[in-house]
Amino acid sequence: MAGSSLFINLGRAAKVLALLLFFLPFVTVSCSTEALERIQSEAAQQSPQMRGPSLGGASIPIADATGLNMALGQVTMRLPPSMPGVRTGASQNSNQPPDVPIEIGVIAGAALILLALLASFLLKGSTGAIAGLGGSVLAIGALCYSVFVNYPPAVLAAFAAHNPSSSSGGGEGAPTADQIAQILSVKPATGFWLVLFMLVLAVVFNALAMRKPGAAVAPPTAA
């Protein structure tokens, strides 16, 4: 029983740390300088717009979003002032972050972690451990779907919508929606990986708490 209680407490601690890590960046938006320079060069020569996969090259982080930002529908811009061509908005609001939608997957992930944490206090023994394990696994699924599948296209669409010329084929010096998708990339950041690590630990600790102690050895009977 003492070992089971220890593992349950360790699982609780891992869930608490996972919730605190929502204040760290979950995703980072980077700009490919090679793709940007190529598009600017083609625009200057009035050549057809570049299409196809991103050209890669050196990437410069220009924005990021913490787990809390994603839940609130926000993104923090940090555009280098020496690279005005990166700015995808109009001149009067190029310093303003784009309007990204609220990320339901992140909200669901945080809610599942909180519910799993509460269940570990309200439910006793292996029942609480099972609830904590199940909630942690579901939270991992919700967060992975959000960061890897749903959020990247939503961010790119928000950057494109931030540029009034992108929907009409692009204006002078303004990239189109297709070009923005080639210039920008959205990738997981440190905070997201740390949350996953804590949730995996919570799963392991809850699984260990569910183990039944070995059967006691029967005392020898008197002759």
Q: Span 137-159, mean pLDDT?
A: 95
pLDDT digits (tens, 9 = 90+) for 31-87: 887 776 777 676 666 544 444 444 445 788 889 999 999 999 998 887 654 444 444
Q: Span 156-168, mean pLDDT?
A: 69
**Domain boundaries defined on the chain:** 2-162+174-209
- Computed over every residue of the chain, the mean pLDDT equals 80
Give the pLDDT score at 56: 46
Q: What is the pTM of this model?
A: 0.79
The CA-to-CA distance between both ends of the chain, in Å, stands at 33
pLDDT digits (tens, 9 = 90+) for 110-130: 999 999 999 999 998 889 999
> Between 190 and 80, where is the model more confident?
190
pLDDT of residue 173 exceeding 90, the answer is: no
Cβ atoms of residues 110 and 99 within 8 Å:
no
Burial class from Cβ neighbours inside 10 Å (0-12, 13-18, 19+) for residue 24 reads: middle
